Structure 1
Amino acid sequence: MLKSFKKALERYIEATNSHDFNNVKEIVHPEAVYWFTDKTCTTIEEIGAYFNHAWDLIKDEVYSVTNVQWLTVDETAATCIYTYHYEGYYNGKFISGSGRATNIFTIVNNEWKLIHEHLSS
């Protein structure tokens, strides 16, 4: 179980790139808190609405991560920081950008779930 925390991040990125919040929701803790640059989301419904709005705004978005550093890992929690990258089409024009992220995963029913994400541009 302890070694699978890295897979949790990989699954999260894959789910994000599916552009289907039902896939993302499988990895998100029911009490997750997300801090985006412009909004704090404290319910699954708010988080889902934020994701769906972003996918509507940036068409064909591809989200990726680099420079992942795992700061703490034990039997019940794992924290990582990384640089996130996105690219896609905004109003028909190709755009790309990046920022910083912190993710905290915790174990629920023997599965890693994302309980906190903090993104900043």
Structure 2
Amino acid sequence: MDHKIALQTYIDATNTHDFTNVKNVLHEDAVYWFTDKTCTSLNEIQAAFENAWDVIKDEVYSATDVQWLTVDENSATCIYTFHYEGYIDEEFISGSGRATNVFTKDGNREWKLIHEHLSSV
């Protein structure tokens, strides 16, 4: 799998709303930065994902304008505009923001997400 497929696999896993699928593409040392919090363990990351899925029902996450800033044999970094849509209290909502993802190869030489930084525009 190459780095571009790794990003799409991560997005697809996110849209299953099952953290087991997301965890399969995360590095064990992953760190997430959100506007209002930092998650430094898989348990904290899981809680953030599950809270988002609980608040925004049927959420669909996507990425546009993906730019790969660095790519080498063991790491790849991209920036993109993220989009989300779903329902809060049965009312349709949507929004977007900025994302940075850093992928690294693990001991099995598989691409894993080690860092994500999401912020509003």
TM-score (norm 1): 0.97
DSSP 3-state at the match of 1:63: strand
1:68-109 deviation per Cα after TM superposition (whole angstroms, max 9, x unaligned)? 000000001000000000000011110000000000000011
> What's the CA shift string for 1:101-120, capped at 9, x where partnerless?
00000001110000000000
Q: Which residue of 2 aligns with 1:18?
A: 16
Match of 1:65 among 63, 66, 75: 63
Gaps of 5+ in 2: none
Give percent identity, aligned residues only: 71
SS class of match (1:6): helix
Which letter maps to 1:76?
N
Correspondences of 1:1-121 after superposition (within 5 Å): 4-108=2-106, 109-121=108-120
Unaligned runs of 5+ in 1: none
Could you say what secondary structure the match of 2:73 adopts? Answer: coil
Q: Secondary structure at the match of 1:37?
A: coil
RMSD: 0.7
Deviation at 1:20, TM superposition (A): 0.2
TM-score after normalising by structure 2: 0.97
Off by >4 Å, runs of 4+ in structure 1: none
